[in-house]
Chains A and B, each alone.
Chain A
Amino acid sequence: MEQRVVVTGMGLICGQAMSAPALFERIKTLQSSVRVHPGLAAYGVANAACSYVDEAVLAGLAARYGAVASRCGPPALLALHAADQAVANAGLDLATVVRKGLFAACNKQSMEAEDLLVLAQHLDPHTDTLNLDLYLELERHDPLAYFHKRQDMGALALAERYGFDDVVMTPGDACAAGGISIGTAYRYIASGELDVALAGAAETMCNYMPMLSFSVLGALAPQGLVNPGEISRPFDKARSGFVMGDGSAFLVLESEAHARARGAVILGYISGFAKQTEAWRITSSPRDGSDYARCMQAAIRDAGLALDDIDHINAHGTSTEQNDSCESLAIKKLFAERTAKIPVTSNKSAIGHSLAASGAIEAAMSILSLQHQLLLPTLNYQEPDDDTADIQVVRQATPAPLRHVLSNSFGFGGENSALVLSAA
């Protein structure tokens, strides 16, 4: 028999917000976290506007977490902060839980610009070869640098901190990884494999390599002379690409029976989940939104709900031309005439796209929307185009009766996920 899965704790960190309530308040009051990153701008990155976590904040976390910090790298620091909050929020002593699992998504810990420069200085431009031995002889190396590059360091740090000793995994499903992390944990609990899960994601993509890589692909919004806070504009006619973000969010999930037995406060439910591949193209999804719609429908079906039960959509809403068109068409295809009655928002309008972390952050914002019965606004939305027309994009924080929220995460490479979150 399937177990009902509840959320009993949440923690979060992202650009300019150190907790889930703090971010909820910022978005509610239309505050963008997107700023020009001075380090990236100094390196000549043309579109250096992003939603980054300050160096001072990272330094503070490094001081707090000590030895773990030195071996685990920045995403692990964000993960530790968010997970600590989530566990404290749940009022749960994880040491007392036997059947528990850890799902900590992260896509990449990248080579730094300085690493590339040093390597480049050992390249022979005439033969296009790197003299690795000279590099080893002349350059100082952090003996732990190898480990800093590993995406699973956050999972390892959390496993050590909380005694996760069996199910420990690091989803790396591109932009869908955070949603998939929470959804996979939901499945483990629903099917009776686990009683408790700590599930979420951490990502620090506001650095040199990711900014270059997505920039040359044309996926990042150009900065131009616009106020940085106005660049991310999901569903708006003038949208021009996504804005990068750092962040982490973790949720404590429990079987309802486990949570009730310990008298936990239930913040909300994870009611349904779907993850699917498209097998369409690696760089794009079907233009008509059919595969996004298929994924959303599968999640609603998994929740045992009807389309009419969905009161709100927390969209993937990246602010790229293509994603927002496809997602809009998918919503219209799936919900037909109900489209006009379903408010849609995109948290990325305020905090950019933190890839793996985005799905986890948006799940946390959805839970808070359900708790507060409040729709969060999409910043910078002014005018639709033909594809986004008829989508009811929320422009101001709006009270609304909310029972079930659909939270979408669509990944590069054609990997999609959707979560259904429900009010307590």
Chain B
Amino acid sequence: MNTMDNCTSVVITGAGCLLPGCDSPAELWQRALEQRCATVPYADDMVRSELITRFGHINTQQSAAALDAVPFKLRRYATAASQWGIKATKDALVSANLELASVDAERVGVFTAQADYCYPAVQSFMTGIRQQYEQGELDIPGLTHEFLNARGMDSFLSIKGLSNNMLAIASLAFGSRGDCGAYVQNASATLAALRSAMISLKRGDSDVALVIFTGSYNEALTLAELFQAQQLTSAGASNEFRPFDQARDGGIAGEGAIAFVLETAARARARSAPVLATIDGISNTTRFERDPSAYRRCTDRLLQSIGLDLDSVDAIVARGLGSKDDDEQEIQQLEHLLVDGQAIPVTCASPITGLVPACPVDLLLALQMLQHQQIPAIANLTRPASTRVPWVYRQPHTKAIARVLSLGRCYSGFHSAVSLSLPSFIG
């Protein structure tokens, strides 16, 4: 693959986000520079836990702003994550200086990556469960009766549970009637949405592509299972998210949304759009088992397809899941990638927002690094677990940055590499 993905003519002209503690990419950048983490003690109206210590929450004010961004008639159908996605997309369009009304609705593509953990959740069934409690012991036939016959469940659950809820809400909110694609589940969805948007633009199926990423880990079973799998930092431990640190003891889950406006470079030039970065290429690999060469393989394939080598990369954003085992694997993969001694500074965005499913926070940070020509230090990293990786820690690093490699991995064994470069590299 990659001949099309990497022919450097798709550019990002707008970016928006609604992330923990960050209402805009600029706020993410400021927090990253200052190493100010936005994760907070876990709090949920319906779930009590002291074992789940911290979370990257979208706060009440942010949620209210997101709801305001959604047309009234769509609010009852839109999940919270889809509401965040609409807010992020509106901001991305402003950033792109683009009035969608000026584009033929059938030429606007929408591509979404949705992390689909929150529906169905026990919250959707609270009424029926309460009603059956009032009658005595719980059992499944009794619950079924309450759900089906006594308005005991969210009657819009099948719509909120759609894997294309974000796409449906976005196409309605923005009036887009063009090419489309809704992808699940996590990092693989992120890459698929980006790839499909790029293909659509390249083939001429769309003039503008809205790429929307959204998701949350805040669902009881999901949190319980992540906790039990020792992916989350626990009570009594450091209580901080310390990716790549010797003292790391787990990640912090989070939630949020990111949106990009993509166009061909030619179209962006024609309308004098602000070009934030060129997407040089995308590559990924899938492995259930430990694979120290996963990053190397993705990166080599990506860079070879655009006729470059690792020396052309000025900075790397790594994922940093934060658990002992996952970070050990990622460190091995980074060491393997940099085996020839390349001193490419490595940073990481995850401690700032927590781990936000399906959202390329690392890519958004890479975009900011290109714009600001600076590499933020990894928050909470004081004693790196490897001396063979040139981590950026304690202080930001300033250097000329023309190309950033964003590397990603998730719990399931999906690894990815995306290369962004400065607009001057177009063509």
Contact = CB atoms under 8 A, between A and B. Distances in A.
Contact of B126 (A123, A208, A277): A123
B3 A133 contact: no
Interface stretch (A190-198, A227-235, A261-269, A358-366): A190-198
B129 A174 contact: no
Given A152-B186, A155-B188, A160-B288, A132 B224 contact: yes
Contact of A165 (B172, B225, B297): B297
Given A146-B226, A155-B188, A212-B144, A117 B138 contact: yes
Main secondary structure on chain A at its contact with chain B?
Answer: mixed
Interface in A112-147: 113-117, 119-121, 123, 125, 128-133, 135-136, 141, 143, 145-147
Contact of B122 (A101, A123, A133): A123
Contacts of A168: 188, 192, 284, 286, 414
A63 interface: no
A415 B220 contact: no
Contacts of A52: none
A278 B108 CA distance: 12
Interface in A78-112: 99, 101, 106-108, 110-111
Contacts of B427: none
Contact of B1 (A114, A130, A160, A166): A166
B46 interface: yes
Given A165-B285, A277-B167, A156 B153 contact: no
Contacts of A114: 140
Contacts of A156: 188, 286, 288, 412-414
Contact of B148 (A107, A108, A209, A212): A212
Contacts of B125: 116, 120
| Highest count of chain B CB atoms <10 Å: which of A99, A121, A150, A219 | A150
A76 B394 CA distance: 45
B196 interface: yes
Contact of A123 (B129, B182, B224): B129
A146 B180 contact: no
A132 B51 contact: yes
Contact of B4 (A132, A191, A209): A191
Please name the 6 residue pairs, one residue from A and one from B, whose CB atoms are nearest each other, closest first: A172-B163, A413-B168, A169-B192, A146-B225, A277-B171, A213-B158
Interface of B: 1-5, 45-52, 74, 77, 105-106, 110, 114, 116-117, 120-122, 125-126, 129-130, 133-134, 138-145, 147-148, 153, 155-159, 161-165, 167-169, 171-172, 174-186, 188-189, 191-192, 195-196, 199, 202-203, 220-229, 283-288, 297, 301, 411-414
10 contacts: A117-B143, A168-B284, A191-B202, A212-B153, A216-B157, A217-B155, A279-B174, A281-B172, A282-B159, A414-B171
Given A116-B122, A160-B287, A172-B183, 7 more contacts: A44-B142, A119-B220, A129-B48, A212-B144, A212-B147, A212-B148, A413-B164
